[in-house]
Amino acid sequence: MDPKKTASGPARRQPRVRLAASASAACATFAGVATSAMLAAGGLLAAGSVLAADAPMSRPLRVVVPYPPGGTSDAQIRIIGPKLSEAIGQPVLVDNRPGASGMLGAEMVARSSPDGHTMLMTDVGNLIMTAIVHPNAPYVVARDFAPVTLVSFTPHLLGVFPGLPVQTVADLVKHARAHPGKLNFATSLGGATHFAGLLFAQHHGLQWVEIPTKGGTDSITQVMGGQSDFVFNSMVSMMPQGKAGKLRILAVTSPKRVPQWTELPTMAEASGIAGFSTGSWQGIVMPAKVAPAVAARVNRELVRALGMQDVRDRYFALGTEIVANSPAEFGTWLREEHVRWSVVAKKANLKMSF
């Protein structure tokens, strides 16, 4: 393997980190339709919308999380939810709707009224990977959702069962090559962590057995118990188990080492493959026909909340980097990620049914 080889797919642009940015960028839907509402300095020209200027909402805001409680999306929205509630003058209700690899909750939001009172807090696996591998997905992101903001990036960790005779990523590659098709990879099929494993296998020419799980927590539990050999999963979920010695963590998939665990090498360092970067990107979208001024107002309040020091401190403790970009920037990022991961899926000939 050429040590200078880069990750497959087109070069990707990292979203700008904007901890205290304003939502003054033009608001566009993911489909690229220009909006008629413009943000004014210090306010919104949104007469008649349900969230005009700083007016309180008329009823609670429902945030659908398409996964069980305790996961990355759930943990993050529960941190910023109270801040958002204060800003809009209504409770923010977290509605966990797991099922069908996140499609159940996502479809619910896509089909809900675009009145500004329902939004989806989810990850790249739900918005991009699931749609790529499922030919009959019940929604099309570009058609059915309006981007609000890319909230954060949490890198994956690569962890192995402590009883596996490997200490480094190089050891794991060597062990997998010596035992083709024997290692068990615990993963939620079709999600971001599954794609991280595919990318790793494609780079190194490895073969293993994929063990389907119900989600990240189940995958981690299987590896800790020795039912599976290794796992890619969110740093939020895996760092505590790694620090406690219940998993042996080999690398982090971020472009740079993380300050929460400085001695942990990146996958690029540990595998010799420049540009290897995967992770859990959390984002918020609303139904596609929501008024642009409404999405812009919600974006502004979310960006404001994500810039608060206590929120930043809690996200840092989770191992998460805040992004907080504009709707237009999030829409561009979604398009680029769809292209990137479509390449990986095509190379793996990956199609699934749920």
Whole-number pLDDT of residue 353: 66
pLDDT at residue number 54: 54
Q: How many domains does the chain have?
A: 2
**Are residues 183 and 149 both part of a single domain?**
no
Q: Are residues 267 and 293 in the same domain?
A: no
Q: Whole-model pTM above 0.85?
A: no
End residue of a domain, out of 223, 251, 271? 271
Q: What tokens appear for 51 in the block? A: 């969230």
Do the domain assignments include residue 41? no
- Is 135 within a domain? yes
Tokens, residue 37: 């509402």
CATH number of the domain to which 98 belongs: 3.40.190.150
Same domain, 267 and 285: no
Residues 141 and 126: their CA atoms lie apart, in Å, by: 10
* CATH code, domain carrying 185: 3.40.190.10
Whether 241 maps to a domain, the answer reads yes
In this prediction, residue 343 carries a pLDDT of 94
3-state secondary structure of 153: strand
* 258 and 180 within one domain: yes
| 111: helix, strand or coil | coil
- Residue 78: count of CB within 10 angstroms of its CB: 16
**261 Cβ neighbours under 8 A, 6+ residues apart:** 239, 249, 252, 319
In a domain, 3, yes or no: no
- Cα gap 341→347, rounded to integer Å: 10
Shared-domain flag, residues 256 and 317:
no
Query: What does the alpha-carbon distance between residue 25 and residue 325 come to, in Å, rounded to a whole number?
Result: 9
Report the chain's terminal Cα–Cα distance, integer Å.
Answer: 35
Q: Which two tokens stand for residue 4?
A: 């200078």
| Residue 352 confidence (pLDDT) | 76
180 and 261 both lie in a single domain: yes
Q: Nearest CA to 285 among 175, 164, 128? A: 128
Same domain as 164, residue 144: no
What would the two tokens of residue 201 be? 């296998």
Q: Say if 190 falls within a structural domain.
A: yes
Token duo for residue 48: 């008649």
Residues 83 and 110 occupy one common structural domain:
yes
- Please check whether residue 12 lies inside any domain of the structure: no
Instruction: Let me know if residue 107 belongs to a domain.
Output: yes
Residues 177 and 115 in one domain: no
Among residues 217, 240, 271, the one where a domain terminates is 271
In terms of domains, do 259 and 289 share one?
no
- Nearest of 327, 338, 336, 268 to residue 302 by alpha carbon: 327
End residue of a domain, out of 223, 254, 271: 271
Domain range for 248 is 155-271
Residue 19 lies in a domain: no
The full DSSP string for 197-225 is HHHHHHHHT---EEEE-SSHHHHHHHHHT
Model confidence pLDDT, tens digit, residues 239-269:
999 999 999 999 999 999 999 999 999 999 9
Cα–Cα distance, 303 to 283 (Å, whole number): 12
Are residues 169 and 86 part of one domain?
no
Report the distance separating Cα 101 and Cα 156, nearest Å. 18
The label of the residue with tokens 């890198």 reads 155
Residue 191: per-residue pLDDT: 86
How many CB atoms sit inside 10 A of residue 127's CB? 25
Residue numbers in the chain where pLDDT is lower than 70? 1-56, 353-354
> Quick one: 164 and 312 in the same domain?
no
pLDDT value of residue 32: 35
Q: What does the pLDDT read at residue 45?
A: 31
Yes or no: say if 76 and 143 are a contact pair by the CB < 8 Å rule: no
273 and 203 Cβ atoms separated by less than 8 Å? yes
Q: Residue 306 and residue 22: Cα distance in Å, rounded?
A: 11
